[in-house]
Amino acid sequence: METSENIALVVGATGISGSNLASKLLEKGWKVFGLSRNPKNDIKGLQPIAADLLNIESLTTALCNVSPTHVFFTTWMRNDTEDENIRVNSALVRNLLDVLSVKKSVKHVALVTGLKHYLGPFDAYATTGTLPETPLREEQPRLNIQNFYYSQEDEVFIAAARDGFSWSIHRPHTLIGKTIGNAMNMGTTLAVYASICKQANIPFIWPGSEAQWNGLSDVTDAKVLADQIIWAATNPEAHNEAFNIANGDVFRWKWLWPKIAEWFEIEFEGYNGSIQLESVLNDKHSVWSNIAKEHQLVEENLKVLASAWHTDLDLGRPLEVMTDMSKSRKLGFSVYKDTKDSFFELFAQLRNDKIIP
């Protein structure tokens, strides 16, 4: 496929999935538009589009001169209940695909969801402990419980049947990669936590469950996710399929935690049954702002960098969670990343970009 003919619309281009995907597409020679409500100018070559997906008028106007061949949907909005998540997040997908439908330019739509497809939504998996069989496999049926991912998938399926485009669904585990100010970013959250522990001389304590500390895990480097999305969009044998996506190795947090501590040159404590990162960081706002001033860092607001609520939910799960990668491997997707490298490359980049000391 000639990439010069491809026009990508990355929806959510400032997010952790979208920004890493936009950079990869540009490297590969695609023409790339990046949509969000507040676009940034930090990716060279990306053509920003400011629009709110919940406002059809704003969307129609913003896209009037854009006819994408490929749509990469990497957007979600967090709401208080799953009912609201379903109403809002299905509208995001539906509104965009409705506005694009009249252009008849779209050949493929990729949608990024995640492992909550198998684990259930936030308010179910951590508290009621829905325990699906691991490793998670694409063929496992939908859970008998409402989930905004299912509603977003259904919007894609309905529009694909109407407009005749192919689709792919991508289900990453916890994403590790750089972006600032997004909703869920475990790598940056842990980097900020470790930096605070180092500067304030407090212990770097594991904030999660016993099952997560001892059990097997995997994560998804945002660049590996980007590779899979591009691979699926450009290989017909991967069309109209849903794929898990993780780095390709497995690890135990009790193995990785000491290595993260070593990278930051701090002491660590393992699982101790009690701490929530959100409460540890709650009273560290002025500590962080002082660290940021002292080291001339770019962001003094701890809230912008750290998403402790999400790290607590992920690491607090009552089961070990890892994914089976056979489906895309069998079809030829072979990208692999060492998870230690995902974390250490992110930490080095955050240090280099003056986000952590």
Ligand X SMILES: NC(=O)c1ccc[n+]([C@@H]2O[C@H](COP(=O)([O-])OP(=O)(O)OC[C@H]3O[C@@H](n4cnc5c(N)ncnc54)[C@H](OP(=O)(O)O)[C@@H]3O)[C@@H](O)[C@H]2O)c1
Segment interacting with ligand X (CB under 6 A) among 117-125, 175-183, 265-273, 322-330: 175-183
Segment interacting with ligand X (CB under 6 A) among 47-55, 206-214, 265-273, 321-329: 47-55
The catalytically annotated residue of 31, 116, 284, 337 is 116
99 binds ligand X (CB under 6 A): no
Q: Measured from the CB of residue 258, what is the shortest distance to ligand X in angstroms?
A: 23
| Sequence-ordered alpha helix ranges (H) in 177-332 | 186-200, 210-214, 222-234, 253-264, 277-282, 285-294, 302-305, 308-315, 326-330
- Classify 171 as helix, strand or coil: strand
What interhelical angle do 222-234 and 16-27 show, nearest 10?
60
The catalytically annotated residue of 118, 125, 149, 193 is 149
CA distance to 35, 135, 173, 231, per residue, from 315 (Å): 31, 17, 12, 30
List of residues 6+ apart from 122 with CB closer than 8 A: 82, 116, 313
120 binds ligand X (CB under 6 A): no
Q: Measured from the CB of residue 257, what is the shortest distance to ligand X in angstroms?
A: 18
74 binds ligand X (CB under 6 A): yes
Give the integer Cα–Cα distance in Å for 244 and 83: 25
Active site residue 178: no
Kindly tell me which residue out of 62, 69, 70, 114 binds ligand X, with binding defined by CB under 6 A: 114
Segment interacting with ligand X (CB under 6 A) among 6-14, 64-72, 249-257, 259-267: 6-14
Segment interacting with ligand X (CB under 6 A) among 121-129, 160-168, 171-179, 237-245: 171-179
Q: Cβ distance 233 to 293 under 8 Å?
A: no
- Classify 108 as helix, strand or coil: strand
Q: Cβ distance 195 to 266 under 8 Å?
A: no
66 binds ligand X (CB under 6 A): no
Q: Measured from the CB of residue 63, what is the shortest distance to ligand X in angstroms?
A: 12
Q: Measured from the CB of residue 353, what is the shortest distance to ligand X in angstroms?
A: 17
Ranked by CB distance to ligand X, the top (closest) residue is 15
188 binds ligand X (CB under 6 A): no
Q: What's the length of the chain?
A: 357
Active site residue 116: yes
DSSP state of 127: T
Kindly tell me which residue out of 23, 69, 75, 90 binds ligand X, with binding defined by CB under 6 A: 75
Report CA 105 to chain centroid distance, whole Å.
Answer: 27
228 binds ligand X (CB under 6 A): no
H/E element, 48: strand 47-50
H/E element, 151: helix 148-163
Q: Measured from the CB of residue 214, what is the shortest distance to ligand X in angstroms?
A: 22
Kindly tell me which residue out of 184, 211, 246, 321 binds ligand X, with binding defined by CB under 6 A: 184
Give the residues lining the site for ligand X (CB under 6 A).
12-18, 36-38, 52-54, 74-77, 112-114, 172, 174-175, 179, 182-184
Catalytic positions, please? 116, 149
